[in-house]
Structure 1
Amino acid sequence: MRKWTPILLLTLYLLAVGATIGLKNRDWIVAQGMTLWQQQPAPLPLERVMAETVSPPPEPAETKLVADEKPPEPPKVKEPQPETLVNVNNIPVPGTCALQPDPNPPVNGRPGPPVNPVTLYRFRRPTDVQTANLPGGAGYTPNEYQAMANGTNYGQRFLYDINGQAVNNAPIVVIHETVSDVYSAVNLFQNAQASEDNQASYHTLIMLTGDIVYIVPPDLRAFGAGNSVFASSTGTETVKTHPKRPPSVNNFAYHVSLETPVDGRNNANSHSGYTTAQYQSLAWLIAKTGVPDARITTHAAVDRSGERRDPRSFDAQLFSQYLQSIPRTQEIMISCQSAYLN
């Protein structure tokens, strides 16, 4: 038995070293609170999410008729549950909508509705439309991650404003930049913020690598532009959703933020700019919202405070070149009336 003791000890030592190395090689993206939609076996730890790999959810249940067993009595229609449906002009809409802002909200606001399960289908509904004509590679598809925000950092979209006026603004896309690395932004959004002054989020982040990180589903309201207005061809558009705060575009906006390069994580007026992969992914993403060019804007353009300049050093011409090469779809529906819960 003593003869085998050194060999046994050596074997145990090698196993311990291997386990330690395995721990050090843990996926750093998962450690940052971001989850890739799918993973594939080693040696490749990550796999792109392709539209054909996403299983669609079950078909929405039809309204059921509840018939009485007694022949003389007519069948009764099952009424929608008030907590999941609201009725506007006798038209039922999904429960992610809120009817009207609370005229007397709590000091720190109300958290947004929980999102469960957090699947790709909750952020984007893939179609079979190909992007083979996108410059930079046939069938370009970025990696897609999710890092769901804490409920204090997003809310519901409203059907009526604080004054009871119907809200019918068409969606817009607002482009931002993080002015930090993407992990600092994700950490901010995933932590509960007690004060409304600190509550913030985007719907989506685009990393320097071009990878896409979904933060808030498109049917919900991200807190991306507090005091803001959109100047459209028909006039100024903004919605007041809080009795004590200025109106904003948040109720009809989809907020997308580009990760700022290292040399731009400061208050300078410009930086080295964004990567080609970021422009490709930005075009790929926005094309899936179906929003027309005239309703794509920037944080600097909608901001009323005069303090926002993002996205700095943005190449609008290059972005437009990529965007015009991609077919528009509506995989990302910027509306609480879209049946994302079905």
Structure 2
Amino acid sequence: MKKLLLLSTGGTIASVASDSGLIPRESGEGLIKMLGQLPYEIEVRDILQLDSSNIQPEEWKFIAKQIYDLRKNYDGIVVSHGTDTMAYTASMLSFMLQGIDLPVVLTGSQVPINVVLSDAPDNLRLAFAAAATCHPGIYLAFSEKVMLGCRSVKVRTTNFDAFESVNVPPVATVTSDGLVFESQQLNFPHANQCTLNTEIDPHVSLVKLFPGFDPKLLFAMVEMGCKGIVIEGYGLGGMNYIRRNMVGAIGELIKNGIPVIATSQCLYERSDLTKYEVGREALLKGAISAHDMTSESTITKLMWALGQKMNVHQVADFFKHNIVGEVSL
């Protein structure tokens, strides 16, 4: 019988009604009681009790350390978490816990577990099954899919099918045959050599480009302490240089040691700065391509890179490497 750990952090799954709206109050033990009998030995620790909108870098570090310190006692770990920032947490844990030596599975729900038709029980059962059977790694389990954490994105606000695996298939799906895995699960070369590295720099910005955006705002961000910028450009990552010269601004920022990562506003497929002139100009100025990474993974990878004191050239090189399955190169 696999020995699993549930780390409860709050979120909708653990929420109850109050005069001020839904608020996390249910304990991890309370979540387990709603599931009935499971074929695992499960221990529970309540480590946070927060709406995920309030989960920030300080909480990422705390959750990562809890996982790192406790992992040797279990075969797998499930983290119950609010859905709104779960993809950011899953991505950041992937970088903070490189080489993780057991499956860590984040899950939550769109409806509190104490509601009759909640999706919480099925999501929790799926997460425990994934924690008992997946290869080591950071995952997100939701609505009959197990996804790599750094490829997961929340795409719906109320529908039970809230998350999708972007640009790679899910690791596993639920069918009448049970949990069915892809023919090949990812095996990372440094698995079983887990290191905890929570040094990050959250002084970054994520900008969605739109017609009329004034590039002077990028310099204002830098004056206020921003040390790296992710820009969601058009299509394959194109940026304007007529009148409001985004491309020129990127060149100036790069010269001043501020890494600029170019990604696409389109959720699927990739950024490719080599195809159109508007992308090539940005590439020539030093813009760093995010390729097919999610915005959540891009911004957390940048935070982690800057936390390692990488300069702009080292960040550019770092983004040319697939570290935890976050990018296809």
Give the structure with the larger helix fraction. 2
TM-score range (shorter-chain normalised) is under 0.3
- TM, length-normalised to structure 1: 0.24
> Which of the pair is proportionally richer in strand?
2
Q: Point out the structure with max Rg over C-alpha.
A: 1
